[in-house]
Amino acid sequence: MRNFDVLILGSGLAGQSLALRLASQRRVALVTKMTLEDSASGWAQGGIAAVLDAADSNESHIQDTFTAGAGLCDPASTRLVVEHGRKAIEWLIDQGVHFTRDESTSLGYHLTREGGHSHRRVIHVADATGAAVQETLADKVRHHPNITIFERHIAVDLITGVKIGKPQLGCLGAYVLDIDGDCVVTFNASHTVLATGGAGKVYLYTTNPDTATGDGIAMAWRAGCRVSNMEFIQFHPTCLYHPQAKSFLISEAVRGEGGLLRLPDGTRFMPEHDARAELAPRDIVARAIDFEMKKRGLDCVFLDITHKPADFLIEHFPNIHARCLELGIDITRDPIPVVPAAHYTCGGVVTDLNARTDLPSLYVIGETACTGLHGANRIASNSLLECLVFSEAAAADILSSTPGKHPKLPQWDESRVTDADEQIVISHNWDELRRFMWDYVGIVRTNKRLERAMHRIRLLEREIDDYYVNFRVSNDLIELRNLVLTAHLIVRCAERRHESRGLHFSRDYPDTLPEAADTVLRPARPR
């Protein structure tokens, strides 16, 4: 049994920034599946959108977010995030993040523009913003006396008051598998925060790290929380297409700085799909690429920025330039082969403006949450901003209450299970799930495809539940169990939306309904 004031599951920007905001007054446990630096936040290239230039305005940023979100952005959440943008960036600068400078601007920092934005408002650290931010915060987290880090630990499930016959107590902590120690540890906490990221690994092709397995969404659902808008899975238009380039993203900023999408013969195609061409929101660009690839039987399309000076490209995109060069692609001379890939989970666990969920003492922040900011399609570079603003909101709410007493919790019971007799069930089911989700619940959907996907999901669920009941838990089993449940929630939401809106495009319902409404799912009962 480990007792803490606050248990944070996940070590991305949301989790680390929250830990630092709490640590002066609370004892914090920070649990992460891999190492402290491993997260989707660390993979973010483009930057963080915020109103920092005098020519820009909060109203413009809000309107751009609304437009990309296709009528589903929550006005209060959007305004909260945008109006706290400058403060969030200043906090990062105070922590020591060295954003790319540009002394020719009044601000002193270089701002780039990305798809869907009407102004240059994306502050960045070259083309590796997430990594720079994560490294800066991780150094502080590692050396803070009030933060205890548990690397290579994965949560199995939340512990709620239902476990001890007192459902009114809400969330009391979590059971967590020590991956290397091969044992389950009971964490007892006054407040628990899910910051476990998204669910990109539910798809065969994704820009996400291997840790993005929908853990927080699945755990919150099992604990009795609502989830919303899971049908809106953002497919990033430009993932590098190369057999040796697993999950390597070509930043939105490449198009923001003038990159053009071309067919193999060099013909541009985006102007035929949208007046904003390459700077249209991601859902439009991804669908356009998907359309052209299927229409012409292409393996990929090409992103061409060779018309820009070589020095400019090497200065602004050093990591993309270096990685492509390793694979024999010189972006100063060669167009970059790209394909869409699952990128961001716009839906998630329903929260309020303080990051609180339906379950008392449980908070959700970052990609795991559905705050209402992203609506039906996340605009570029709003995600890291959301992490910062809602971590601040959650910290304020947690610090406003006094840590409660730790009730006695039941230990994890393995008395009726055995070691797994074979692992092939897990690896086979994992592969099957990701393939049929890509085929049936991808960029373009139909009723029949969704029906086929749900049929297979139900078969997998029965098989995995039987495996879970009879054998000791492992990292792979926990992730697969969460992925299948997350896939179930994605398909259920998609089946309920009888229109095409934002990231959800259905051939059976190609029109957009006049009134926008969230897709909210409610669990039958908490466990």
Q: Is the pLDDT of residue 152 over 80?
A: yes
- The chain-wide mean pLDDT, for the chain, equals 94
Task: Determine the pLDDT at residue 526.
Answer: 62
pLDDT in tens, 272-297: 999 999 999 888 899 999 899 988 99
pLDDT in tens, 78-134: 999 999 999 999 999 999 999 999 988 778 999 998 888 999 999 999 888 989 999
pLDDT in tens, 385-426: 999 999 999 999 999 998 878 899 999 988 888 887 767 788
Strand partners of residue 362: 192
Instruction: Enumerate the active-site residues.
Output: 282
Q: Supply the DSSP string of 455-473, one letter for each residue.
A: HHHHHHHHHHHHHHHHB--
Report which residue type is found at 336.
Answer: I
Asked whether 36 and 72 are in contact (CB, 8 A), the reply is: no
Task: Determine the pLDDT at residue 527.
Answer: 60
Q: Coil, strand, or helix at residue 443? A: coil
Cα Rg, the chain, nearest whole Å: 22
Task: Determine the pLDDT at residue 450.
Answer: 98
What is the bridge-based pairing of β-strands 111-112 and 122-123?
Answer: antiparallel
What is the bridge-based pairing of β-strands 183-194 and 362-364?
Answer: parallel
Asked whether 228 and 492 are in contact (CB, 8 A), the reply is: no
Distance CA 51, CA 109 (A): 12
Give the length of the chain. Answer: 527
Distance CA 193, CA 241 (A): 36
The model carries a pTM of 0.91
Give the angle 317-47-289 at the CA atoms, nearest 5°. Answer: 70
Q: Which domains does the chain have, with CATH numbers?
A: 2-231+346-399 (3.50.50.60), 237-343 (3.90.700.10), 424-509 (1.20.58.100)
Give the angle 483-487-490 at the CA atoms, nearest 5°. Answer: 140
Distance CA 442, CA 293 (A): 14
What is the bridge-based pairing of β-strands 233-240 and 336-345?
Answer: antiparallel
End-to-end alpha carbon distance in the chain: 21
Q: Coil, strand, or helix at residue 319? A: helix
Distance CA 416, CA 76 (A): 49
